[in-house]
């Protein structure tokens, strides 16, 4: 007998209920951590009771560490992964994912720029057999609210990545991704990027290995406190792209193309 599931709840008779680990990278986010955790907890409770939230707090100086400590103290589902020095967003995520207990690993930005109704869609794609599931601001059905200059830069960047690395993914940098643990953790040993380029390197390496990757359209709006600096970080990411292209020239991928 089938069981009907509504709203954010994802379930099936006989379905293996995976443990979910959600990682949130944090750097000087004191003003929005508690609100984000409250909203995220509501969503995860509806999807799967067996979950944890890891606050990957990366050497904050604005009181974020103290707030993360408090949240972890009052809620056993929350863990504070703290660094006394700035590791970089990518390295902080790598540390947190390695510490996570879940079978399905997710991360999202603390500003909740992606609508939380899409969380269940990511998890459902992993249940369907995909290795990775990622949001996309670039595919049909997505709704995006951000300044024109950021829109142009983002589309240009993703176009360049697709041409340079011959991958079909449309949105490398969105902070809204889910992974099958058994596929992500071994891959992290190869990823060298420690900051903004981490997302792109993970996705490129996964595609080259033939990982089965799903992209879903999302509703996304740029938060007012974005820490991505167009001049400084675009230059850094551009250098990282060229460096990775050089490195991969001498690496033979396990599979030659992305699985559809």
In percent, how much of the chain has pLDDT > 70?
Answer: 86
Predicted confidence at residue 17, as pLDDT, reads 63
Asked whether the predicted pLDDT for residue 112 surpasses 70, the reply is yes
In percent, how much of the chain has pLDDT > 90?
Answer: 73
4 domain residue, yes or no:
no
Q: Residue with structure tokens 């974005």?
A: 226
- Give the number of C-alpha atoms closer than 13 A to the C-alpha of residue 241, restricted to the C-beta side: 18
Q: Flag the least confident range among 14-28, 144-158, 203-217.
A: 14-28
Check: CB of residue 51 under 8 Å from CB of residue 19.
yes
258 domain residue, yes or no:
no
1 domain residue, yes or no:
no
Predicted confidence at residue 55, as pLDDT, reads 98
218 domain residue, yes or no:
yes
Asked whether the predicted pLDDT for residue 253 surpasses 90, the reply is no
Predicted confidence at residue 229, as pLDDT, reads 57
Q: For this structure, is 69 an active site residue?
A: no
242 domain residue, yes or no:
yes
Q: Which helix (H) or strand (E) holds 124?
A: helix 119-127
Asked whether the predicted pLDDT for residue 244 surpasses 60, the reply is yes
For the chain, what is the domain count?
1
6 domain residue, yes or no:
no
- The C-alpha atoms of residue 66 and residue 177 are separated, in whole angstroms, by 27
Q: Which of 62, 199, 225, 233 is catalytic?
A: 199
10 domain residue, yes or no:
no
Mean pLDDT of 170-187: 96
> Which of the four pLDDT bands, split at 50, 70 and 90, describes residue 251?
confident
Q: Flag the least confident range among 2-6, 37-41, 48-52, 254-258.
A: 2-6
Asked whether the predicted pLDDT for residue 162 surpasses 50, the reply is yes
> Which of the four pLDDT bands, split at 50, 70 and 90, describes residue 224?
low
Q: Is 64 exposed, middle or buried (0-12, 13-18, 19+ CB in 10 A)?
A: buried
Condensed to tens digits (0 to 9), the pLDDT of residues 133-157 reads 999 999 999 999 988 988 888 899 9
> Which of the four pLDDT bands, split at 50, 70 and 90, describes residue 223?
confident
Residue 44 sits in a domain whose CATH number is 3.90.550.10
The number of residues in the chain equals 260
Mean pLDDT of 220-224: 82
Asked whether the predicted pLDDT for residue 8 surpasses 50, the reply is no
Predicted confidence at residue 255, as pLDDT, reads 47
Mean pLDDT score across all residues of the chain:
87
8 domain residue, yes or no:
no
- Check residue 60 and report its DSSP letter: -
Q: Flag the least confident range among 43-57, 153-167, 226-240.
A: 226-240
Mean pLDDT of 105-124: 96
Mean pLDDT of 41-62: 94
Can you give the pTM of this predicted structure? Answer: 0.86
Q: Vertex 234, ends 229 and 239: CA angle to 5°?
A: 140
Q: 142 lies in which domain range?
A: 20-248
> Which of the four pLDDT bands, split at 50, 70 and 90, describes residue 18?
confident
């Amino acid at each position: 007998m089938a069981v009907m599931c509504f709203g954010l709840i994802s379930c099936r008779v006989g379905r293996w209920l995976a443990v979910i680990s959600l990682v949130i990278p944090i750097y000087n986010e004191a003003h929005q951590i508690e609100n984000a955790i409250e909203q995220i907890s509501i969503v995860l409770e509806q999807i799967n009771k067996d979950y944890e939230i890891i606050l990957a707090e990366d050497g904050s100086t604005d009181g974020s560490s103290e707030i993360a400590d408090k949240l972890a103290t009052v809620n056993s589902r929350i863990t504070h992964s703290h660094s006394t020095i700035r590791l970089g967003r990518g390295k902080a995520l790598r540390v947190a994912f390695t510490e996570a207990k879940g079978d399905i690993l997710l991360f999202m930005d603390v500003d909740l720029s992606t609508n939380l109704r899409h969380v269940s869609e990511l998890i459902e794609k992993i249940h369907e057999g995909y290795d990775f599931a990622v949001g996309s601001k670039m595919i049909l059905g997505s709704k995006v609210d951000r300044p024109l200059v950021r829109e142009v830069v983002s589309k240009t960047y993703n176009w360049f990545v697709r041409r340079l690395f011959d991958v079909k993914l449309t949105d490398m940098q969105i902070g809204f991704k889910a992974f099958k643990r058994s596929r992500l953790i071994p891959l992290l040993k190869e990823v060298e990027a420690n900051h903004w380029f981490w997302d792109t390197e993970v996705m490129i390496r996964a595609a080259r290995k033939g990982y089965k990757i799903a992209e879903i359209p999302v509703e996304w709006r740029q938060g007012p406190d974005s820490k991505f600096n167009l001049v400084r970080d675009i230059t850094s990411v551009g250098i990282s792209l060229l460096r990775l292209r050089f490195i991969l020239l001498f690496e033979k991928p396990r599979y030659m193309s992305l699985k559809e």
